[in-house]
Structure 1
Amino acid sequence: MKREASLSDYAISIENFSEAWPELEPLCRAHYGEMQTRMAAEGMKIGDFNPRLNVYGGAGHLLCFVVRIDGEAVGYAFIWLTQDMHNSEPIAQEDTIYMRPDHRNGVGRRFTKHILAELKTRGCVRAHVTIATDLRVAAMCERVGFKRSAIAMTYFFQET
């Protein structure tokens, strides 16, 4: 009988994107599929999964966080470190954050807090996230201290 995992069973680390990608690719593909399905249900069709690996792998300002249990990757986040275009403050911009559905048991909140602590130590004054896959995640973000600061809107050009 498999025991229930506790939060202390999960390890969180920053890994080299290019080295982690072969293992993370199925998680990224699953994540994209969940987002694609949610958006399609609301009448928004987005293209198929086709990441620009040359940009991700070559970006020195990209942090690749990985959540593991028993050595297996079950979650990840890609966070860009940059500067605000208007005031040059150091900020972080979430590209993607994901936890496998069978591991959505509170570890996402711990993961988010870990990421925020790391970003703070790197001098970031703000971290921006966009909730696109599971809109219920916004409530968890608010519980860890995020503030609603904008409304994201997407315009889809119609095919002719």
Structure 2
Amino acid sequence: MNYDFTIENGAVNLAELFPIYAQHYHQMEERLKGDGIDVSPFNPRLDDYIAHWMSGSLLNYVVRTSEGEAVGYSNVYLTNDMHNGDLIAQEDTIFVLKNHRNGVGRKLVKFILADLKARNVKRVHITAMTDLRVAVAWKRLGFKAAATAMIYNF
């Protein structure tokens, strides 16, 4: 199957992608529950997402089949590092539907990295949450482990 990788306005395609967003959240929620970490139910702050998409500080990358069906996405925030002013990127989400994961996620990440490099981004921060095995693939793409994420629930 062939795939197209695009940058789209998340405010425009929100209704189409919302079911994929929810599926991603529920898969992440289940994985975290398996580790004894509870998260609140899926209830995204859509007004904030839309404001960031419209301002250009949140990029919406979409994977589509050649027929136009959305099968994956990533939202990436752009900001300036508070310590040195560098333009940096922080991945909010990256997700590909299970029946389309055979190499598509790697291609999506490469597409994102090429776009961010063209925007003169200096660093990309990414977190494996839904499937921890993906970190191995990211290392193959040149990512380096730089920290350990910890969660404390009240």
* Structure 2: unaligned runs, 5 residues or longer: none
Whether 1:121 and 2:125 are equivalent positions in the alignment is: no
Measure the CA separation in 2 of the matches of 1:58 and 1:124.
21
SS of the residue corresponding to residue 38 of structure 1 reads helix
Residue by residue, what CA displacement relative to the aligned partner does 1:11-67 show, whole Å, maximum 9, x if unpaired?
Answer: 010101111110110000000000000000111110110001111101121100000
Letter in 2 for 1:155: Y
Deviation at 1:92, TM superposition (A): 0.4
* 1:85 shift after superposition: 1.3
Which 4+ stretches in 1 moved above 2 angstroms? none
CA distance in 2, matches of 1:146, 1:134: 16
**C-alpha distance in 1 between matches for 2:93 and 2:4:** 19
Quote the Cα distance in structure 1 between the aligned partners of 2:129 and 2:108: 18
Alignment partners' CA distance in 1, 2:96 and 2:147: 24
What does residue range 81-100 of structure 1 map to in structure 2 within 5 Å? 81-100=78-97
- Paired amino acid for 2:41: D
1:66 equivalent in structure 2? 62
Matches of 1:137 and 1:106 in 2, distance apart?
A: 11
- Tell me, in whole angstroms, the C-alpha distance in 2 between the residues paired with 1:148 and 1:88: 22
TM-score normalized by structure 2?
Answer: 0.96
**Distance in 1 between the 2:105 and 2:129 partners?**
15
Letter of the 1:138 counterpart: A
Shift of 1:84: 0.8
Which residue identity lines up with residue 84 of structure 1 in the other structure?
D
Task: Please state if 1:108 is matched with 2:68.
Answer: no
SS of aligned partner of 1:113: helix
Larger radius of gyration: 1
Task: Look up the SS of the partner of 2:106 in the other structure.
Answer: helix
Match of 2:28 in 1: 35
- Of 37, 49, 56, the residue aligned with 1:56 is 49
Between the two proteins, the alignment pairs up a number of residues equal to 150
- Three-state SS of the structure 2 residue aligned to 1:135 is coil
Q: Does 1:149 align with 2:107?
A: no
> How high is the TM-score relative to the length of structure 1?
0.92
1:14 aligns with 2:7: yes
SS at match of 2:146: coil
